[in-house]
Amino acid sequence: MSRIQIPSKTRLLPSTQRVSPTSPSLPKLLSKLPRQSLISLALDWLSEENLPLCPPFLSSTSDYDSDDGSSDFYPPLPTVEALRQEYHSLLSQKGSKKDIIDRILKGDWRKGLTLYQVAMVDLQVLYESASSVSWSAYRIAPLTASADDEEKEEEVVDKESLRIPRFHPSSFLRALQGEILSDMKVHFTFDRHKALPLLILRVFLLDSPYGNTGTSSKEATMGKVVFVSFPDGSPHIFISKASTFTLAAAATIASNGGQARGAGESKSLRTLLVEGIPKALSRPRERVTLLSTNLTTKNLEGMVHRKGGGRQNFAGGGWGGYADEKRKESPLDTVMPKTAEEEGSETETEGRQKRERGHIIGRAEREEEQARRRAKKVAKARFGDTGKMGDGKGVERVDIVLEDPFKGPRRGNPKGGGDKGADGDGDVEMGDGDDSGNGEGEGEDDFRPNVRLTFHGSHVFAGIRQFVEAGIIDGEKMPGWMTDEEGVTVGAVRHGRIRGNKGSGV
């Protein structure tokens, strides 16, 4: 992992600060990695580049008593080179993951892991466990001066601008550090994602001692970890939910609802970053802000596909075919290429085999086969190459609120002179609400129930595509937000169009 120069202030936690080996968060974090990854990570700590920030415990240190070495289950080695050879030998040996964790925490790094080592473990977990962190996408939008009221110098969001702010990591961290509260300690770690075009910033925020009222002074020191990802060439950033990390073992347990307080602090610390990042990215006369895109998922690869750099940002669902640079087809072509699937004809081999078996397809079976093929064509047209199981771009949850008024019987105006029916009643019309979309002037008798839809699964849109192919969902009448065209996971549908909700509370 390449290091980066970070501006130093009193509020900045040093990378060499150690985390107590008795911290309950350390074994929990290390246990998320497989045995081979733990050994490879230990070898990275022992490399010449990372050794100053990851010093191991050696027998040559002054605080080691050689008389007690016989009772030591993991006796320290004299040199770093010997320790490297030991971990290289562990790669070819069989054993359990717990043995490696115990050797790290109780043997070679018995004094504790540094914050830099903890950050490396946390990032490795992120790389190997794709669904370990929940991400939310935000769009970086520039603020421009309002032309209507220039005297007040009000700023409005320019939603059509394609400008992407450029920044240097050290300058950005210096500016971001200035936006963090003065009573908070912070530790930053930058790293480049190994497989995706992302620059990841890990932010460790140490809780303010002034916010832990009513707790014992011996209580565990708690911190929050938030990841911020910057995709290459994209006006979006991804911010994860805050997770809790304990620096030391807890001696006492708080009696005033520490768990509920911790959840509130996680939200407040994350909000602090959401408000501080655009200020750190801003320059004089070039202010920016963050706009929620209402897209939340644990699949980082799917997030990059929808909001990363490239032409896929606004080409979801079936429109993705026009954003694929490998394809040369265009809707303006006079002759479109036909595929076997589009022609819907059987191959000669299949037809010959059926004739040899004397298989006769009845009318009902032919209609069913035609309906099945048509459903697959419709699914192909609506979803394109997206919404397939195993593509690694799925979302786990979609929350939708239906705000459209339901059609229902409505009495006509009894004074309007309309034709009377046989029973003497007025005309009965169907009320469908106001088409203006602003919610004003709609009939008081509109039937507007509180309908909320929640889709769960490993790949929501792949499941919807399978329903379309099976004929369960009418793919021709299905709205676009069900094909992932809008690229949102939280929103409200009004007059058939989806609009994003602020926040995740639908």
Please report, for the domain that includes residue 482, its CATH number: 3.10.20.720
Of residues 286, 238, 315, the one with CA closest to residue 480: 315
Q: What is the DSSP letter of 21?
A: T
**324 and 299 in one domain?**
no
Residue 165 lies in a domain: yes
**Is 64 inside a domain boundary?**
yes
**Would you state the pLDDT for residue 105?**
92
> What's the confidence (pLDDT) of residue 439?
46
Residues 466 and 325 in one domain: yes
Whether residue 485 is contained in a domain is answered as yes
At 18, is the secondary structure helix, strand, or coil? strand
pLDDT for position 329: 64
Indicate if 82 and 217 belong to the same structural domain: no
Compute the distance between CA of residue 219 and CA of residue 77 in angstroms, rounded to an integer: 34
If asked whether residues 141 and 287 sit together in one domain, one would say: yes
Same domain, 400 and 485: yes
pLDDT of 37 reads 94
CA 473 to chain centre: 28
- Please indicate, yes or no, whether residues 286 and 327 belong to a single structural domain of this protein: no
For the purposes of burial, counting CB atoms within 10 Å of the CB of 281, is it exposed (0-12), middle (13-18) or buried (19 or more)? buried
Asked whether residue 334 is assigned to any structural domain, the reply reads yes
* Residues of the domain holding 386: 317-404+448-499
| 331 belongs to a structural domain | yes
d(C-alpha 29, C-alpha 25), whole Å? 6
Per-residue pLDDT of the chain (506 residues; tens, 9 = 90+): 555 545 444 478 889 999 988 888 899 999 999 999 999 999 999 999 999 999 998 887 656 665 555 567 888 888 899 999 999 999 988 888 999 999 999 989 999 999 999 999 999 999 998 788 899 999 888 887 554 444 445 566 655 555 677 778 888 888 888 887 667 788 999 999 988 999 999 999 886 555 444 444 434 477 889 999 999 888 889 999 988 887 765 443 333 344 444 555 556 777 888 888 888 888 888 888 888 888 899 989 888 888 887 665 556 676 766 666 666 666 666 666 565 454 444 455 555 555 555 555 577 788 888 888 898 998 888 888 888 888 888 888 889 888 888 776 555 554 444 444 444 444 434 444 444 444 444 555 677 788 898 998 888 988 999 999 998 988 888 888 888 888 888 888 887 788 754 433 33
Say whether both 325 and 364 belong to one domain: yes
Phi, psi dihedral angles at 382 (to 5 degrees): -80, -35
348 and 475 inside one domain: yes
* Same domain assignment for residues 88 and 179: no
Claim to verify: residue 321 and residue 302 sit in the same structural domain: no
- On whether both 173 and 101 belong to a single domain, the answer is no
User: Is 123 part of a structural domain of the chain?
Assistant: no
Alpha-carbon distance of 486 to 468, in angstroms, equals: 18
Q: Is residue 15 part of a domain?
A: no
In a domain, 505, yes or no: no
pLDDT score recorded for residue 104: 93
Domain count for the chain: 3
Same-domain pairing of 367 and 334: yes
The runs of H, that is alpha helices, within 258-308 are 258-281, 300-307
Burial class of 234 by CB neighbour count within 10 A (0 to 12, 13 to 18, 19+): buried
